């Protein structure tokens, strides 16, 4: 057995030099040959050690016993359903390590202020990086929400930020009615960094989960200050920066509200319904195709093979090269439902302006207005999972969950 353990201050010799710091516990995501070290400057590094020498044993080895206060009858109950990502972690101040938060106690300890906001019920549905998210996991989350909606007044879903908006869109379509707010929240910087956004984001998400909102929302930093968060509609939001804390933006619409010390809805929003209705089926045979100049028609055709639907992210107003038209025509004739969104993200698709657009429209491509491509992709999966072909074609360009501007889609 190794004579060093998490919490010890160690000196590690590697091929690249000598490092000193506090040894961190490894997680299920860690490479077994790598040790994690919190350096004196506060940064965490993963290094392959040649030799590890303990300079100082960790001071406190006993597990800190955590407890939550007895439920306060004057506070609402909020369920926190962890799915992974940086936000679903808390810092062990003894070692500086970031652990997954598994229980109500962990969350209550990570952000003590939430104890003043709500009685917390918490559990981890799973613990993954959100790039590993899959449609079957969206369904799992949806079932957990349905269950919790019977036990609490609001639900917070900590989630990795990379694909959080896909999950938000999927949940938006799967729940035509909600009796509780469903609030997704993430953090761009882990909670062991001084610039972490985890604390404010989680606290704000709990505040939104106590409101009368009856739709799926994403709550994240509004600016690079640590004071307010935006409340984004689940079908309108996108991660627009790799690392900034205010990376999440509502596209083609304003955020539906702001939350800091106070919560204020600034746009129309859907209010709680008296029941939660879950329609969870998804048809995974849908492609999301990013067109680029030089894309071979054969690549496009392969992406349509065996599919029931596809969303094309076209250029500008919604175009692909004109030599794609016969392939599009054939796919539509074979029953593949094809929608057109734009790589521009901002503004509407319009297939009436240029000849390629008109040809695509005549071939049966459905223009999708200002719907975000990822939202259209998830929506098509949901429609194909629950409706017949004609209904899918009718509903795809309709506004079901605020995914389109109120202006009509240009047909």
| DSSP-derived secondary structure letter, 197 | -
Catalytic status, residue 356: no
| Angle (CA) 265 171 181, round 5° | 35
Reduced to 3 DSSP states, what percent helix, strand and coil does the chain have, rounded to the nearest 5? Answer: 25, 25, 45
Candidates 116-124, 126-134, 176-184, 306-314: pick the segment binding ligand DGL (CB under 6 A).
126-134
Nearer to ligand DGL, 7 or 160 (CB): 160
Q: Per CB under 6 A, does 129 bind ligand DGL? A: yes
User: Which residue is catalytic, options 86, 163, 165, 276?
Assistant: 86
**Helices marked H in 190-334:** 198-209, 297-304, 325-333
Q: Is 131 in the site for ligand DGL (CB under 6 A)?
A: yes
Identify whether the C-beta of residue 84 lies closer than 8 Å to the C-beta of residue 45.
no
Q: For residue 270, give the nearest of 221, 231, 239, 238 by alpha carbon.
A: 231
**Contact pick of 79, 86, 119, 201 for ligand DGL (by CB under 6 A):** 86
Q: Which two tokens stand for residue 230?
A: 């935006």
Residues 199-238 that bind ligand DGL (CB under 6 A): none
Interface mask toward ligand DGL for 255-284; x: CB under 6 A = ------------------------------
Contacts of ligand DGL in 349-378 (CB under 6 A):
none
Our CB check for ligand DGL shows the closer of 83 and 172 to be 83
Verify whether residue 86 is a known catalytic residue: yes
Residue 326: enclosing H or E segment and its boundaries? helix 325-333
Quickly count: other Cβ atoms within 10 Å of residue 337's Cβ.
Answer: 22
- We find the least distance from the C-beta atom of residue 160 to ligand DGL, in angstroms, to be 2
Residue count (the chain): 411
CB 101, CB 107: distance < 8 Å? yes
CA–CA dist 301, 80 (Å, integer): 43
Looking at 79, 130, 196, 350, which residue binds ligand DGL (CB under 6 A)? 130
Q: Which listed range, 81-89, 329-337, 343-351, 355-363, lies at the site for ligand DGL (CB under 6 A)?
A: 81-89
Q: Is residue 246 near ligand DGL by the rule CB under 6 A?
A: no
Whole-number minimum distance, CB 218 to ligand DGL, in Å? Answer: 13
Site residues for ligand DGL, window 325-354 (CB under 6 A)?
none
- Residue 87 or residue 203: which is nearer to ligand DGL going by CB? 87
CA distance 137 to 152: 22
Report whether 335 contacts 308 (CB < 8 A).
Answer: yes
Residue 186 binds to ligand DGL (criterion: CB under 6 A): yes
Contact with ligand DGL (CB under 6 A) among 95, 119, 149, 161: 161
Phi, psi (5° rounding) for residue 284? -80, -5
271 in active site: no
Q: Give 49 or 158: the residue with its C-beta nearer to ligand DGL.
A: 158
Minimum CB separation of residue 167 from ligand DGL in Å reads 10
Our CB check for ligand DGL shows the closer of 184 and 349 to be 184
Q: How many residues bind ligand DGL (CB under 6 A)?
A: 10
Give the tokens for residue 160: 């990795």
Binding flag, residue 191, ligand DGL (CB under 6 A): no
- Residues with Cβ within 8 Å of 216's Cβ and at least 6 positions away in sequence, in order, are 168, 171, 172, 175, 178, 182, 183, 184, 233, 234, 235, 401
CA-to-CA distance for 57 and 388, rounded, in angstroms?
65
Site track for ligand DGL across 5-44, x = CB under 6 A: ----------------------------------------
Residue spans of alpha helices (H) in 213-324: 297-304
Residue nearest to ligand DGL (CB): 160
Residue 165 within binding range of ligand DGL, rule CB under 6 A: no
Q: Helix (H, G, I), strand (E, B), or coil: what is residue 142?
A: helix
Residue 85 is a binding residue for ligand DGL (CB under 6 A): yes
Which chain residues interact with ligand DGL by CB under 6 A?
Answer: 85-87, 129-131, 160-162, 186
Mind telling me the catalytic residues? 86, 161-162, 239
């Amino acid at each position: 057995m190794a004579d060093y353990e998490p919490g010890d201050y160690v000196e590690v010799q590697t091929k690249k030099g000598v490092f000193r710091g506090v040894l961190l516990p490894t997680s299920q995501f860690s490479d077994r040959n790598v040790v994690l070290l919190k350096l004196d400057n506060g940064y965490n590094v993963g290094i392959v050690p040649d030799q590890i020498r303990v300079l100082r044993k960790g001071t406190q080895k006993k597990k800190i016993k955590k407890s939550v206060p007895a439920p306060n009858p004057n506070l609402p109950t909020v369920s926190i359903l962890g799915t992974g990502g940086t936000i679903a972690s808390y810092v062990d101040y003894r070692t500086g390590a970031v652990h997954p938060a598994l229980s109500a106690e962990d969350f209550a300890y990570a952000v003590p202020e939430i104890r003043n906001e709500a009685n917390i019920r918490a559990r981890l549905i799973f613990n993954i990086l959100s790039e590993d998210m899959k449609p079957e996991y969206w369904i799992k989350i949806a079932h957990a929400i349905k269950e919790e909606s019977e036990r609490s007044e609001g639900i917070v879903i900590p989630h990795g930020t990379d694909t959080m908006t896909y999950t938000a869109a999927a949940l938006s379509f799967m729940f035509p009615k909600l009796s509780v707010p469903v609030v997704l929240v993430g953090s761009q910087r882990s909670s062991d960094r001084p610039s972490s956004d985890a604390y404010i984001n989680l606290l704000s998400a709990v505040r939104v989960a106590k409101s009368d909102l009856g739709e799926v929302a994403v709550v994240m930093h509004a600016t690079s200050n640590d004071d307010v968060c935006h409340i984004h509609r689940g079908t309108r939001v996108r991660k627009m920066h790799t690392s900034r804390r205010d990376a999440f933006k509502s596209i083609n619409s304003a955020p539906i509200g702001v939350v800091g010390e106070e919560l204020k809805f600034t746009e129309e929003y859907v209010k709680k319904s008296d029941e939660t209705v879950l329609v969870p089926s998804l048809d995974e045979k849908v492609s999301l195709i990013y067109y680029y100049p030089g894309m071979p028609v054969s690549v496009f055709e392969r992406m349509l093979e065996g599919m029931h639907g596809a969303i094309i992210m076209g250029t500008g107003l919604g175009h692909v090269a004109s030599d794609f038209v016969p392939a599009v025509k054939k796919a539509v004739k074979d029953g593949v439902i094809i929608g057109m969104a734009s790589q521009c993200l901002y503004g509407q698709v319009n297939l009436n302006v240029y000849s390629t657009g008109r040809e695509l429209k005549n071939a049966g491509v459905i223009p999708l207005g200002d719907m975000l491509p990822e939202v259209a992709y998830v929506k098509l999966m949901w429609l194909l999972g629950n409706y017949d072909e004609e209904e899918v074609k009718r509903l795809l360009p309709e506004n079901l969950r605020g995914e389109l501007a109120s202006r009509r889609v240009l047909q």
